[in-house]
Amino acid sequence: MLFREHQLRLTSARKQVFHTLQHADKPLSIRQIITSCPAADRTSVYRTLELFLSLGIVLGIPTGWKTRYELAEPFRPHHHHLQCARCGEVIAIELPELEDQIRDFAQQHHYTLSSHHIELHGVCARCASLSTQ
């Protein structure tokens, strides 16, 4: 439906990239997506990600100098991220009570929220233990 609206074809590469992201349990790097889509060439994967970003199908999550990708709403439930500044591990934060607090805060200040996203950065326990050795 979204593709028809924008007069775009649902190509094999687009299907593969979507399927890869749909079955991922965490945001993926371009390299991981390319590896998971062996029938699509590298250029098609890059172009597909650009298109998906522009259409709001995927989100790009900056991790250091790189970006990781995951499906956006409504293809995946709303959530935020906790990410390690050293190894790049990304953990989804799904806390309904946080969403309630954000909504309440906006209402207290007479805002109607259109969207929000929270990124928490720190160092995971594994990386912290490596730096103390």
Can you state the percent helix, strand and coil of the chain, rounding each to 5? 40, 20, 40
Per-residue pLDDT at 127 exceeds 90: yes
The tens digit of pLDDT for each residue in 52-111 reads: 999 999 999 888 788 999 999 888 888 888 989 888 888 889 899 999 999 999 999 999
Q: What is the mean pLDDT of the chain?
A: 89
Give me the CATH topology for the region 80-131: Dna Ligase; domain 1 (3.30.1490)
Q: Tell me the residue type at 26.
A: K
- The DSSP annotation for 66-100 comes to EEEEEE-TTTS---EEEEETTT--EEEE--HHHHH
Q: What is the pTM of this model?
A: 0.78
**Could you tell me the residue ranges of all domains in the chain?**
2-71, 80-131
The tens digit of pLDDT for each residue in 15-57 reads: 999 999 999 988 999 999 999 999 999 999 999 999 999 999 9
Q: What are the residues facing 59 on neighbouring strands?
A: 70
Looking at domain 2-71, its CATH architecture is Orthogonal Bundle (1.10)
